[in-house]
Structure 1
Amino acid sequence: MSLLELDGVKVHFPVKKGLFFDRTVGHVYAVDGVSLSVEAGQTYGLVGESGCGKTTLGRAVLRLNDITDGAVVFDGTDLAQLPSEEMRSFRRRLQMVFQDPLGSLNPRQNIESILAEGMAAHDIGKDQAERREKIKEILAKVGLPANAMSRYPHEFSGGQRQRIG
């Protein structure tokens, strides 16, 4: 059985026109009929030209973008059927890794602030002090020193940003 199964996934965005009353005049077909299967233990790289829908597909799998049609099943669970609150906790098991995630890291926040924000959103750590200790552990696991917490995204190499983002 596949760990992740996408079947005919489509993500279409409406094109609206009008000053006061938005009316849909067409659609942008960002993702149109993608099917793939990833087995447990496999690493899958999604590559393509700029603007071809790679990030949109990843966001659709995480249900950050609405799926127009198709199905996304992760570890036997149809993600479209999960209530929002369950999906929020389920996202902890899923992640997208960008080649250079600089764009996903807020340049005005230091690494501690960026990581603590995600931890707070997922109720990890009971307070700021506990989150700070957990961040130190996480940074050590990915080969970064504890003092990296006070640095900003632009101060890291692309590979280091991948480990952070």
Structure 2
Amino acid sequence: MMFLLAVLAVFIGVSIYFYFRAEALQQQLVAAKRDATNAKKESKILFESVAVIARKNEEIVKNRAKLLQENEHAEKFLEVLHPFINNYSVIYTEAIRGKGQLHKITQKCFESYQKGSYRKFTGIIGAMKPHINRAWSGNNIGALVTFTEAIFYDMENPE
């Protein structure tokens, strides 16, 4: 009889322990869900902000390209850059979204425009100044911004 009461007491003690442990885990789960929801909302807001910045940067790039169309030297290169300029916001957001995606998404944009145009684009970049080549070889968002600025600076200020 004493043994039975001891076993019963152990079971009751373990049950009480697991009840309170389950309650604590339930509270942690609710807090984790709340944090996940907040993180998702914040992520959405940040991505929308990045999309706005990308569109504004694309407008700036297009305006700079328009201003350069009068220059014969730049006009020839602007024809090659056409898919890059018109898809700048897509390239920008994809470069932010994934590391090492700059070349991949740029190639996709060029090849959807015209077969072989990406090869022509990279060939022209390879023949350009070393600082432009280095900027393009970065394959990330920083490289995209640096490359774009270097290209337009080079076209706006021919030597």
TM score, norm. by length of structure 1: 0.27
Larger Rg: 2
TM score, norm. by length of structure 2: 0.28
The structure carrying a bigger helix percent of its residues is 2
Higher relative contact order (CA 8 A, sep 6+): 1
The structure carrying a bigger strand percent of its residues is 1
